[in-house]
Chain A
């Protein structure tokens, strides 16, 4: 079975974000880029599935040469091969999904893992869009995944609980934290990843469906009052919450 894991290359969550000179994107200076945290769960689940059922794991990523760092990490974890779908333009979720769907079709992969969202644009929809474009079943925000023949049983996180979903291959699954514990790359894996080639193709083109008009920082929040430094401040705090903020 051919299994695909899609990865994106994003600013570390500890990074401070500043708006770039174009007022439409971030200033990448001084920002460390990493494997999108949720994609690590997707890579791990793809590898686990291959280990129990056989097959191969192909990594797909849409972006530019910088993404190769993230792709190498996925290869070092144990993925077999990778394709970078190159685009120098900022694409929106729909155009990224179109490029991925095209390549997944070419790869004839019938099980595809995504992270549930990229922690840059936070749309949290590329997996679902790709599934629909391919006509695949889809389960998003998955914390538990089982594949038995063609049958999938997955638990997805919802408000206040989980839904247990039954569906079947071909399918897209988007991974939530808790699905698994991503492995660290071994030294052997890291060495092997250096020898693997990353195939490069142009992303199947479509213009972005969304126009970015402006990026801005949220209005700075004013630091408020320090009411006191011990329990004697409690009555005043409660008074403020009741009378000034009117929240209790």
Chain B
């Protein structure tokens, strides 16, 4: 059962994150199941289009505002969200499983004496209980769990929850000024990595492995990524070899991703890599070795030389996209 569902709406640079809108829809679906209300909370300075959470079934969003809250602060955001959850009487709190969601949700859970389940990929019910599914061992297994205490915190894996048809309604936005945010932990600078797409958020990923034969050949991976509007990923082998930064690593000790399209170039498919990308909607593999494990999970494959196939693929995609 639930009395009230609260959804945390994440903003960066004043823009709402897609993962939060998915959480908003999940929150309004849960509230509908229990016949209770779902509300949203956002923290930041200026935030654009907050009322659009209404499209995802939530009628009210409270915006806690202060110029010092423009950047994330674990301490300040944690206090604001937990205090509001208590004030609103929310017993289910949802977050997107993003860098911010993963940092903030456990803090809120402790303040609410809640149980917590992270990175959920499915929300279901067993009688009156919420039953969530979460991947463990990087997706080599799935766990169905119930959170036992009355107060429950969940984070949802981005790109997974089906938002279905959106409504036209706009949410009422209530702005509350925060007098003195608790900035005992404070972000003093944001360092962007060259304005490129991040594999954790990308809808399309093109990854390269040892079959690229050296860091100097990754321009092929980047060319295909550019043609597809994709993020560049990498296997652990090439990250460990120093060819690519760890922020691009896909797999059990890198990022676990679920894009719409995952293109693996010269990647044989070690268990820990497959675990990190197997839930991608479509997988394309290009590899010379026809026995490579990657072909066992690929939807489409070419058992050929990446140095020959990829340039042709880049040209063909450009042609089709024109």
B195 to chain A, nearest CB (A): 8
> Could you tell me the distance between the alpha carbons of A218 and B136 in the complex, rounded to whole angstroms?
10
> Could you tell me the distance between the alpha carbons of A19 and B142 in the complex, rounded to whole angstroms?
10
Contacting residues of chain B (190-210) with chain A, CB-CB under 8 angstroms: 190-193, 195-198, 200-201, 204
B118 touches A125 (CB 8 A): yes
Residues of B within 8 A of A124 (CB): 102, 118-119
Count A-B pairs with CB separation below 8 Å.
277
Listed stretches B53-61, B67-75, B161-169; interface member: B67-75
B313 touches A (CB below 8 Å): yes
Contacting residues of chain B (275-322) with chain A, CB-CB under 8 angstroms: 275, 278-279, 281-284, 290, 295-305, 308-309, 311-313, 316-317, 320-321
Residues of B within 8 A of A141 (CB): 99, 102-103
B246 touches A177 (CB 8 A): yes
A230 touches B197 (CB 8 A): no
A30 touches B (CB below 8 Å): no
A37 touches B (CB below 8 Å): yes
A166 touches B188 (CB 8 A): yes
A21 touches B (CB below 8 Å): no
B252 touches A (CB below 8 Å): yes
B186 touches A167 (CB 8 A): yes
> Could you tell me the distance between the alpha carbons of A242 and B313 in the complex, rounded to whole angstroms?
13
> Could you tell me the distance between the alpha carbons of A193 and B10 in the complex, rounded to whole angstroms?
46
Can you name the residue of chain B whose Cβ is closest to the Cβ of A26? Answer: B141
A210-232 interface bits toward B, Cβ cutoff 8 Å, 1 = contact, 0 = none: 11111111100101111111110
B260: contacting residue among A122, A162, A214, A247, CB under 8 A: A247
Q: How large is the interface on B (under 10, 10 to 19, 20 to 34, 35 or more residues)?
A: 35 or more
Which one of B72, B141, B275 has the greatest number of beta carbons of chain A within 10 Å? B141
B98 touches A209 (CB 8 A): no
A187 touches B (CB below 8 Å): no
> Could you tell me the distance between the alpha carbons of A19 and B137 in the complex, rounded to whole angstroms?
11
> Could you tell me the distance between the alpha carbons of A207 and B139 in the complex, rounded to whole angstroms?
26
- Interface SS, A side: mixed
Can you name the residue of chain A whose Cβ is closest to the Cβ of B201? Answer: A159
Contacting residues of chain A (134-193) with chain B, CB-CB under 8 angstroms: 137-141, 155-168, 176-178
B36 touches A (CB below 8 Å): no
B110 touches A133 (CB 8 A): yes
B141 touches A14 (CB 8 A): no
> Could you tell me the distance between the alpha carbons of A240 and B261 in the complex, rounded to whole angstroms?
13
> Could you tell me the distance between the alpha carbons of A225 and B186 in the complex, rounded to whole angstroms?
51
B188 touches A165 (CB 8 A): yes
A14 touches B115 (CB 8 A): no
B1 touches A (CB below 8 Å): no
A160 touches B196 (CB 8 A): yes
A120: contacting residue among B117, B137, B139, B284, CB under 8 A: B137
B304 touches A16 (CB 8 A): no
Q: A94-B116, A177-B246 are in contact. Are A218 and B278 (CB under 8 A)?
A: yes
Residues of B within 8 A of A207 (CB): 148
Q: A155-B191, A241-B300 are in contact. Are A216 and B295 (CB under 8 A)?
A: no
Residues of B within 8 A of A178 (CB): 245-246
B110 touches A132 (CB 8 A): yes
Residues of A within 8 A of B75 (CB): 137, 167
A119 touches B278 (CB 8 A): no
Residues of B within 8 A of A212 (CB): 143-145
Residues of B within 8 A of A221 (CB): 278, 283, 296-297
B250 to chain A, nearest CB (A): 13
> Could you tell me the distance between the alpha carbons of A157 and B247 in the complex, rounded to whole angstroms?
8
B72 to chain A, nearest CB (A): 7
A213 to chain B, nearest CB (A): 4
A157 touches B304 (CB 8 A): no
For this complex, 7 residue pairs linking A to B, each with C-beta atoms less than 8 Å apart, are A16-B140, A94-B109, A120-B136, A159-B201, A160-B192, A212-B145, A215-B143
Interface of A toward B, CB cutoff 8 Å: 11, 13-17, 19, 26, 37-38, 92-94, 97, 119-125, 128-129, 131-133, 137-141, 155-168, 176-178, 207-218, 221, 223-231, 233-235, 237-238, 240-242, 245, 247-248
